[in-house]
Amino acid sequence: MSLSIKDVAQRAGCSIATVSRVLAGKGYISEEARQKVEAAVKELGYRPNRVARSLRAQKSRVIGLILSDICNPFFSEISRAVERVAIRHGYSVLICNTDEDPQKEAHYLKLLEEEKVAGILLSPTRASAKSLDPALLPPLVLFDRKFPTVHLDSVVIDNEEAAQKLTRTLLDGGYRKIAGLFGAKSFTASGRIAGFKAAFAGMEDRMHGIYQAPAFEEEGNRLMKEVLKQEPAPDAVVCSSALLATGAYRALRENGLRMPADMGFACFDDPAWAGFVEPPVTVIRQPATAIGEAAAELLMKRIDDPARPVSEIGLRGELIERGSSRRG
């Protein structure tokens, strides 16, 4: 049985209200009472029960972070940033992983509401647009993805612009038939596909095609091999995520294609290996830390003031041009 405020009160010779006031640091407290309480707390090693606090306050000092894939470095970098900001504001973070499964997402949203978290950070799946009712939920901030229809706090990068920039780099690099590999269930895919298409304005014949698969390494590998079998085969590839890219890149190797001569390559995210394979890979680096920080800060503001106007923060991906996107 752990200690309660009652034990402290008894030890300090005062009422529980006084103890609570000392601990909270608000209301009138005499210097004498303060000292006695502080001494008692120290002697007993008392620590408050957050569950009781949460019940009384009707919300906890925890925020929920719902990720679509915790093994994706982009998201783990975000987690770390979020956590840092949360701690600074006196919150802790409940991290939940959906694997892009709308059912798991719904489960977690329910759970977090039941846990009375103070707020939620969410990278929504496509399906959640309809089911999500912000009125029933704690303060909510979207990141990485947002709904075109529902107006909510969000932090995203401009996927269309980034994809266009990435694709144009390959076009400028002299490639003639460019294939695009995109996530299948992913929310961001549509923006990136749009940017990919837009890059070909006036030279539509240089687009090889748009291909989609679930965002896993193995799927990227499989899809890439399939695309390579086509006639004509592409002479360059854009990948919309690190995971797809890792699998696709491996497929190119396995097929003995030489870059950048036989094949151009560029992808989203900046996987660890992109810098040191030969040739190094041109990428769009997403500012994951900045996204996480911005989203967390936004959530803090939303928690403090539920009535404040909605903000939609846009960040840009950074193009890092390396050897894989320029022929010869």
Residues that bind DNA (CB under 7 A): 1-6, 13-18, 20-21, 23-24, 26-33, 46, 48-49, 52-53, 55-58
Does the footprint of its own copies cover residue 94 (CB under 8 A)? yes
Does the footprint of its own copies cover residue 277 (CB under 8 A)? yes
Comparison of 57 and 203: residue with beta carbon closer to DNA: 57
Distance between CA atoms of residues 39 and 227, nearest Å: 72
Distance between CA atoms of residues 159 and 253, nearest Å: 28
Q: Which does 179 bind (CB under 5 to 8 A by kind): its own copies, DNA, none?
A: none
Q: Which does 203 bind (CB under 5 to 8 A by kind): its own copies, DNA, none?
A: none
DSSP string, 236-302: EEEESSHHHHHHHHHHHHHTT--TTTT-EEEEES--GGGGTSSSPPEEEE--HHHHHHHHHHHHHHH
Comparison of 14 and 78: residue with beta carbon closer to DNA: 14
Comparison of 83 and 160: residue with beta carbon closer to its own copies: 83
CA torsion angle for 219, 223, 225, 227 (degrees, to 10)?
-170
Q: Which does 135 bind (CB under 5 to 8 A by kind): DNA, its own copies, none?
A: none
| C-beta separation of 109 from 79 below 8 A | no
Distance between CA atoms of residues 269 and 319, nearest Å: 10
Q: Which does 28 bind (CB under 5 to 8 A by kind): its own copies, DNA, none?
A: DNA
What the block records as the tokens of 158 is 């401009």
Does the footprint of its own copies cover residue 110 (CB under 8 A)? yes
Distance between CA atoms of residues 128 and 101, nearest Å: 10
* Binding residue count for its own copies, defined by CB under 8 A: 45
Comparison of 33 and 86: residue with beta carbon closer to its own copies: 86
Q: Binding string to its own copies for residues 42 to 71, with x set by CB under 8 A, is what?
A: -----xxxxxx-xx----x-x-------xx
HEC profile of 122-188? ECCCCCHHHHCCHHHCCCEEEECCCCCCCCCCEEEECHHHHHHHHHHHHHHCCCCCEEEEEECCCCC
CA nearest neighbour of 325 among 138, 174, 118, 202: 174
Identified binder of its own copies from the candidate list 4, 20, 97, 190, rule CB under 8 A = 97
Distance between CA atoms of residues 222 and 220, nearest Å: 5
Contact segment (CB under 8 A) with its own copies among 8-16, 95-103, 191-199, 256-264 equals 95-103
Comparison of 198 and 277: residue with beta carbon closer to its own copies: 277
Q: Which does 246 bind (CB under 5 to 8 A by kind): DNA, its own copies, none?
A: its own copies
The residues that touch its own copies, with contacts defined as CB under 8 A, are 47-52, 54-55, 60, 62, 70-71, 73, 76-77, 79-80, 83, 92-97, 99, 108, 110-111, 113-116, 217, 246, 249-250, 253-254, 271-273, 275-278
